[in-house]
Structure 1
Amino acid sequence: MSHLKLDTTDYFLSDKNAITVEDRHPQPAFSTHTHEFNELVIVWRGNGLHILNDVPYTITCGDLFYINAADKHSYESVNDLELDNILYCRHRLTLSSDWDSLLPGENVDQAQRYWRLSTPGMSVLRREVDALARECMKTDPLSIMLSEALFLQVALLLKRFRHSPDSLLLSDAEQLDLLLMALRVSINEPFRLEDFCRQHQLNARSLKSLFKQQTGIGVNQYLRQLRLCKAMDLLRRGKQTIGEVASQCGFDDSNYFSVVFNQSYGISPRQYRQRFQKKNHGTTGNG
C-alpha cells in the first residue's frame, strides 16, 4: 500500500542544519507516512492512537518514541493531542558522542524504542526542547553547532528520565506516573481506582482531576482505550477467536466487547481482522 514520504528539504532550513523541531499543538490525524530523516516524538498532553509499523499504541502525556526514517506511522482518533517532533539527520551530526546509545537506530527492536517519561522529567525537557526549537530556526554556523549541543542535551535528558512503559520500579514516581503504569498492567484484569488509591495512600478525587487535566479523558475511558488498542493488535495477527481476544483485553462479555469496538472504530472486530488478513494475504501473494 502506498504512503506519503516526508522530504528533508521541506523541513530543514538548509543542508547544514541537522535538527529541527516541529511543534504539533495540536497534532491532527495524520495518514501513514515515512521520512528521509529520523525523529523523536514527545507527547505533552491529550490522547490519541499512534500506529507504528502496524502496531497500535494508545498515547498520552509522557509517551516517547524513537522513530527511524524507514518506520511507517500515523495518528488516529486524536483528542487535544499535543506533541513535539524533533527531526534529525543522523549523518549531519558533527558532535562526537555515543549517538547509537542515545538514539536507538534501525538495529534496535521497536519495543525498545517506546518509553515513558516521568512527570518531573517532562518539566525539565519542556524548557530544553523550547530552547532547541528556537536555535534550530537559524542557519549561521554558530547556531547550527549550538543546536547540536542542545540536541545532545535533550537526548541525554531523555535517557535519564525515561522508563519502560510497564515498569513498576520508578522510585521517584509521582501520582500520575504510578497510575498510568498501573493501568497499563491492568489491561486483562479488573482495575478499581479506589483500591489503587488506598494502596498508595492517594486521594481519588484529586487524582481523577489530575488525570483528566493531563490526558483529556477519564481514567476508565483511558483504560478502555488501552484495552481496545491491545485488541486491535491481537486482531491484526488473526489467531484467537473474538471471545479469546475479548477475554485477554479485560472484557468478560464478547458481545459487549464487539459493541464497544464498533462504537469506537466504526467496524466490528471480525471485520477489522478480515481487513488485515486480506492485506497480509495480498502482500504475501505479491511477493
Structure 2
Amino acid sequence: MSLILSREDYFPASNLPIAVAERMPQPSFPPHRHAFSEIVIVWRGNGLHILNDRPWLITCGDVFYIRDSDCHSYDSVNDLALDNILYCRDRFRLALDWSQLLPSQEDDAPSGWRLTTRGMALARSVISQLERESRKSDSLSIQLSEALFLQLALILRRHGYAADRPWALPEGEQLDLLMSALLGDISRPFDLTRFCQQNQLGERALKQLFRQQTGMTIGHYLRQLQLCQAKYLLRTQECLIGEIAARCGFDDSNYFSVVFTRETGLTPSAWRQRFVTPRAPVTAKEKA
C-alpha cells in the first residue's frame, strides 16, 4: 500500500493552487501518491525514479509530469537535487486551457521529458519567483503565482523534448546533444569519439562537463540506462533473456546476467520471477 500525500501537508492555505517543494538533496522515498499533481525538475546528481513501476535513471535536465493517479518513488540517489512544483487544477482562477499547456494526461503519453540547458536556466529563474509568491494567500499573489506557473509551463513546452523521442530536441547545446544521442538507441554501441567529431566537440571537455552535471561518467550512465530498460522488459515482456540482453545493448547474454546480478543482487530470471503472480491452487471440485 503506497503513501498518499495530502494537500493540507504541502499547501499553506486551502485556496492556494501552487506550491514549490525544494529537495536539495532528495533522499530515497518510498512509493507514494498525492492528492495533487506535480512537475519534477532535476537540477543535479542522479538516482532512480520509479514511476508506475517503471524505473527511470534521472539526472540534471530530466522533467516528469506526475498525475494524482500516479505512484512513484526515489531510490539509489546520489546528490540528487530537484524541485517539485505542486499544483491543484481545480483551484486555478485564470481561464486558461491547461490541456494545451501541460502534456497530455493519456496513459500512452510520454512520462519522462528532457529540458535543454537554456530551458533549465529560464525555468530556475521562474521557479525562484514562484517559490516566493506561492507562499502568499492574497488574491493578487495567487494570480501572480498562476501567471508564473503559466510562464514555467510555456518554458517547458518550448525547451523540452520527450526523453524517448530525442529527435525532437530543440536548440541543442553540447550536453543536450550528447544526452539526446545517448537516449537514442541503447541497443547499439555508442562511439563518443565519432560523436564528438561529427559535432565538432572536444571529447575531454565533454566528458568533464557530463560528469560535473550528472555525477556520473558517460559509460556509467549508459550502463544504468541499459539496466533500467532491462528491468522494465523483464517485468513486462515474456521474451527470452538473451533477446532482452540484445535489446539492451549486450552482445553476450552471459555477460548481461553477470552485470545485472552484480548491480541488482538478483539474476535476470530471479528479477522476473518477483513479478509473476502465483496461480491459485486447483480445488478438488475443479479437479473433478
- TM-score category of the 2 structures, normalised to the smaller one: over 0.9
What letter corresponds to residue 151 of structure 1 in structure 2?
F
- On the 8 A contact 1:238/1:273 being kept in 2, the answer is no
Match of 2:189 in 1: 190
1:138 corresponds to 2:136: yes
Matches within 5 A, 1:105-116: 106=105, 108-116=106-114
Q: TM-score, normalised by structure 1?
A: 0.93
Match of 1:156 in 2: 154
Match of 1:244 in 2: 243
Inter-partner Cα distance in structure 1 for 2:108 and 2:133: 30
Inter-partner Cα distance in structure 2 for 1:33 and 1:109: 18
What letter corresponds to residue 142 of structure 1 in structure 2?
L
By how many angstroms is 1:83 displaced?
Answer: 0.8
What letter corresponds to residue 73 of structure 2 in structure 1?
S
- On the 8 A contact 1:5/1:33 being kept in 2, the answer is yes
2:119 pairs with 115, 118, 121, which one?
121
What CA RMSD, in Å, does the superposition of the two structures yield over aligned residues?
Answer: 1.5
Inter-partner Cα distance in structure 2 for 1:148 and 1:169: 28
Inter-partner Cα distance in structure 2 for 1:29 and 1:267: 21
CA offset digits 1:143-202 (Å, max 9, x no partner): 222111111111111111111223224352111111111111231011121111111111
Q: Secondary structure at the match of 2:275?
A: helix
Q: Secondary structure at the match of 2:57?
A: strand
Match of 1:285 in 2: none
Q: TM-score, normalised by structure 2?
A: 0.93
Q: Secondary structure at the match of 1:10?
A: coil
Inter-partner Cα distance in structure 2 for 1:42 and 1:132: 14
Inter-partner Cα distance in structure 1 for 2:120 and 2:47: 19
- On the 8 A contact 2:20/2:131 being kept in 1, the answer is yes
What letter corresponds to residue 260 of structure 1 in structure 2?
V
- On the 8 A contact 2:2/2:33 being kept in 1, the answer is yes
By how many angstroms is 1:232 displaced?
Answer: 0.6
Structure whose residues are more often helix by fraction = 1
- On the 8 A contact 2:169/2:180 being kept in 1, the answer is no
CA offset digits 1:28-48 (Å, max 9, x no partner): 111111110000011111111
Match of 2:285 in 1: none
Match of 2:21 in 1: 22
By how many angstroms is 1:105 displaced?
Answer: 5.2
- In 2 relative to 1, CA 169–10 (structure 1 residues): closer, same or farther, beyond 3 Å? closer
Inter-partner Cα distance in structure 2 for 1:203 and 1:97: 45
5+ residue gaps, structure 2, are 281-288
Q: Report which of the two structures shows the higher radius of gyration computed on alpha carbons.
A: 2
Inter-partner Cα distance in structure 2 for 1:109 and 1:199: 37
